[in-house]
Amino acid sequence: MNEQLYHVSANPHVRDKASTKSIMFDVILALMPATVFGFWNFGGRAIVNTILSVLVCVVSEYAWQHFMHKKITTGDFSAALTGLLLALNLPPEVPFWIPVIGGLFAIIVVKQVFGGLGQNFMNPALGARCFLLISFAGIMTNFSSQGPGTVFDATTSATPLAALKAGEAVDIQAMFLGNTAGTVGETSALLLMIGGAYLLIKRIISWRIPVCYIGTLSLFVLLFGGHGFDMYYLAAHLFGGGLMLGAFFMATDYVTSPITPRGQIVFGILLGIFTGIFRLFGGSSEGVSYAIIFCNLLVPLIERFTIPAAFGKGGKKDE
């Protein structure tokens, strides 16, 4: 009798060279232009806080998994990416203990308590940022900086979106290039778009979420912004704040975004609507972080109503 057996794994049967490690590395690589620019723009404090954030995330993940007798996964770069994203979402002048607390919250509370990578219900870096915003609002909304590359007025802490909300004029070119106040990694729309294009070309992310997100927000701003079809006003919303960082690098997180194509479109549309509501009608000039976190919670519901019907089901019966 032939003892040779065919071992068939569960479907879907996908063969791909991509791994968690390679995907995380590609995302980190795509973030490097904006990261390096942030270091040049804001100086040594931004560099130290970024290093601290990454180290705390990696070490805390290793320590948790070690003491809980779980498989050590720090080599997949997911914790390092969380630390980098958290640092890029922090103002450049925050005290050193802010990235420490944020890193611990992101890894332990948002990620590991719920089972680790693949089980967290919201983006860990954004979850930590929102926690820090609520807990230390004054520190997290101080965007003044005196870094070596700073060319804007360091005596003011107003971001371009805050100035825009107050009815003041903003410099669109400076916002596009990154010579403005803001968090370490969000100021240069150009470099973030280059990083996003890299992820799209490498097929690390799909176009659906960022395109639907940015497109919906654009339409929302034009319809409800109170400025009519003012392209200057629209450009300020597109290039200001954390939109590009959120649309390409955090809303597209595999774990906390829908896996169905239709679900990704719905997700992107909802992100644009909620960001528009928060920015135009909320007390803050920003809204990307809260919009993504809120929509992360809606992902199970979105997937429930957008999952494709199984083959042979859902069709009309023949008469």
Q: Which of 144, 142, 19, 36 has the alpha carbon at shortest distance from 84?
A: 36
The confidence score (pLDDT) of residue 311 equals: 58
Would you call the peptide bond into 12 cis, given omega within 30 degrees of 0 as the criterion?
Answer: yes
Contact of 205 with 266, CB cutoff 8 Å: no
pLDDT tens profile 81-138: 999 999 999 999 999 999 999 999 999 999 999 888 888 889 999 999 999 999 999 9
Phi then psi for residue 282, to 5 deg, are: -90, 175
pLDDT tens profile 83-96: 999 999 999 999 99
Architecture of 20-140+164-306 per CATH?
A: Orthogonal Bundle (1.10)
- Joined tokens for residue 69: 């007798």
Q: What pLDDT band is residue 166 in, cutting at 50, 70 and 90?
A: confident
Which range has the worst mean pLDDT, 14-18, 151-155, 176-180?
151-155
Alpha helices in 136-287 (DSSP H): 137-140, 160-165, 172-177, 189-201, 208-224, 231-239, 243-245, 261-281
Is the pLDDT at 187 greater than 80? The verdict is yes
**Which range has highest mean pLDDT (40-44, 266-270, 284-288)?**
266-270
Q: What is the mean pLDDT of residues 57-65?
A: 96
Q: What is the mean pLDDT of residues 45-64?
A: 96
The confidence score (pLDDT) of residue 314 equals: 55
From the number of C-beta atoms within 10 Å of its C-beta (0-12, 13-18, 19+), residue 14 rates as exposed
Percentage of the chain beyond pLDDT 90 is: 72
Contact of 146 with 43, CB cutoff 8 Å: yes
Could you tell me the residue ranges of all domains in the chain?
A: 20-140+164-306
Q: What pLDDT band is residue 155 in, cutting at 50, 70 and 90?
A: very low
Q: Which of 34, 47, 30, 284 has the alpha carbon at shortest distance from 178?
A: 34
pLDDT tens profile 208-266: 999 999 999 999 999 999 988 999 999 999 999 999 999 999 999 999 999 999 999 99
